Structure 1
Amino acid sequence: MGFGHFITQSDAVGKTLLAILVLMSVASWALIAIKGVTQVLRRRRSDQFLTFFWNARSLDEVDAEIRVHGATDPFGHLAAHAIHAQAHHARYGAAKLQEAGTSQEFVTRTIKKVLDEETTRLENGLTTLATIGSTAPFVGLFGTVWGVYHALLAIGMSGAGTLDKVAGPVGEALIMTGIGLAVAIPAVVAYNTIHRSNRVLNARLDAFAFELLTFLSTGSTLRPSSTLSVVPAATSTTTVAA
């Protein structure tokens, strides 16, 4: 008796359900690893860019840095597109329908578009985690029901209905429920953790977008506490010179 015996005694349906749960587990842990590493790198690069941005002497210096090293984080990506949008509108004006309106309106639309793109990028893979977390227990439960059904049929055909004859096959069938829970729990925990981290990053991006738009429009900053948290204490009062 045991898991190995359960596998050998399972029919095609039981083995298929087990294979589905294994694939779910592999996909879940692969997404957890990829999203975890990506979030660590994104957070580190974002902090580095924000520290550089608020200590830069001008937007030209920020633009030059982005052109040389590229935008490797959401804040750099947002700044690059906003600066380019303002320069493009100042040089060419409203040459196309998508550029209609004032420079501030064009920059605002560009920032909104970039924020939507970053939100979509952050949410990649979360649907899969949510699906695995919500369906894996039911897949395991279906496997248990199927296993118990066949175990009871075998017991009925043998004519031995004593407890020692029933407990083994039924207990083996319950393994599928345990596997389903083992697959679902890490997926649910990871989904909630990643989703919360994404909400925090989106809030910081919104605050930075407001700062950036204000600076591009008026040449001054308000710099709320959400952006000050990544600036070293020795330079926390430094402002960007126009």
Structure 2
Amino acid sequence: MSYIALIASASIVVQIVMLILVLASVLSWYFIFERAKVMGRFRNASDHFEERFWSGMDLTQLFRQVNAAPDPDSGTEAVFRAGFKEFTRARQQPDMDPDTTMTSIQRAMRVAVNKEEDKLDKHLTFLATVGSITPYIGLFGTVWGIMGAFRGLAMTSQATLATVAPGIAEALIATAMGLFAAIPAVIAYNKFSNTATNLISLYDTFAEEFSSILHRQVYALSRKNQARREAGADGRNESAQSAGTEAQRV
């Protein structure tokens, strides 16, 4: 008997199980191709931005360029935009506290990394679910089919292999379909999880390196502001002393 004939002659419960497994397999393959394409774009976009970042370009100019045309696939660019935007907002304040500013910058970059992590983990839960439950769904269909085969066997007067074999064969197809759906999903989930972990590590490393750069700029800017305030205070004191001296002469 052909596989199509075995599926057509299966009970309605086994056919429903097979339909569920086919749908799960089709969706998992769709997400496998979609995630492979997305992960590749994310890796290439992040590598391209890091080349621009470490090329020696002025950070303010780079921020203007990426802010005007942001790349949604570049996680490192998103981290850079979040951190530099917070730095730009903080340096406009004359009484900027460097420790508070660095805390705000690091928090903004951490939020950006978390958002990128959500993008990378999209649909991976579905692949993990397919890989873990489809063998059991297929096993359920097999058990149900074998139960039906033995019930039919009990109603016959003479049991032969030709009598019971078709029922067992159509039941075992459910297990085969469950494994066919589960194995690619598990392999893809492990592959994409490892890729996502590597990309998140790349984003975290970039955030730490960029944080060190901004740390130096924040404290240098804080020292300049402090020097300006002290110079202004000295100027006011000298003006007050001059005015006092002039008053005494009068």
Shorter-chain TM-score bucket reads 0.7 to 0.9
Which of 123, 142, 145 does residue 143 from structure 2 map onto? 145
| Equivalence for 2:91 | 90
The whole-number CA distance in structure 1 between the counterparts of 2:66 and 2:110 is 20
Relative to 1, partners in 2 of residues 1:172 and 1:2: Cα closer, same or farther, differing over 3 Å?
Answer: farther
Give secondary structure in 2 for the equivalent of 1:158. coil
Q: Structure 1 counterpart of 2:35, which letter?
A: K
Q: Report the alpha carbon displacement of residue 22 of structure 1 after superposing the two structures with TM.
A: 1.1
Q: What displacement does 1:5 show?
A: 2.1
Considering fraction of residues, name the structure with more helix. 2
Q: Which has the larger radius of gyration?
A: 2
TM-score by length of 1: 0.84
Q: 1:164 aligns with which of 158, 162, 165?
A: 162
Give the percent of matched residue pairs that are identical in Structure 1 and Structure 2.
31
- Alignment partner, residue 107 of structure 1: 105
AA paired with 1:79?
Answer: F
CA contact (8 A) 2:10 2:170 kept: no
CA contact (8 A) 1:74 1:118 kept: yes
1:92 shift after superposition: 5.2
Q: Tell me which moved more, 150-159 or 188-197.
A: 150-159
Distance 1:12 1:56 in 2: 67
Contact 1:71 1:80 in 2 (8 A): no
Q: Distance in 1 between matches of 2:196 and 2:166?
A: 46
Q: Which amino acid aligns with 1:202?
A: I
Q: Is the 8 A contact 1:32 1:190 kept in 2?
A: yes
Output the CA distance in 1 between the equivalents of 2:188 and 2:94: 46
What is the distance in 2 between the residues matched to 1:184 and 1:64? Answer: 47
**Change over 3 Å in CA distance of 1:147–1:92 after alignment to 2:** farther
Structure 2 gaps, min length 5: 219-250
Letter of the 1:90 counterpart: R
Q: Distance in 1 between matches of 2:157 and 2:206?
A: 73
In 1, distance between residues paired with 2:181 and 2:117?
27
CA shift at 1:93, angstroms?
Answer: 8.1
Taking a change above 3 Å as real, the CA distance of residues 203 and 218 of structure 1, as seen in their structure-2 partners, is same
After TM superposition, what 4+ stretches of structure 1 lie above 4 angstroms from structure 2? none
Q: Quick one: distance in 2 between partners of 1:9 and 1:168?
A: 9
What corresponds to 2:225 in structure 1?
Answer: none
Aligned runs of 1:42-61 on 2, under 5 Å? 42-61=42-61
User: Given the alignment of the two structures, is residue 125 of structure 1 paired with residue 123 of structure 2, yes or no?
Assistant: yes
Kindly provide the amino acid, as one letter, of the partner of residue 36 in structure 1.
A
Write the letter of the residue equivalent to 1:63: F
Per-residue CA shift, 1:209-241, capped at 9, x if unaligned?
000100011149xxxxxxxxxxxxxxxxxxxxx
Q: Is this contact kept in 1: 2:46–2:75, CA < 8 A?
A: yes
Question: What's the offset of the Cα at 1:10?
Answer: 2.1
CA contact (8 A) 1:56 1:62 kept: no
Structure 1 residue aligned with 2:24: 24
Q: How does 1:201-216 map onto structure 2 within 5 Å?
A: 201-216=199-214
> How far apart in 1 are the matches of 2:14 and 2:93?
65
User: How many residues align structurally?
Assistant: 217
Helix, strand or coil for the counterpart of 2:155?
helix
Take 2:205 and 2:43, find their aligned partners in 1: how far apart are those partners?
A: 16
| Aligned alpha-carbon RMSD (Å) | 2.2
Contact 2:127/2:186 (<8 A) preserved: yes
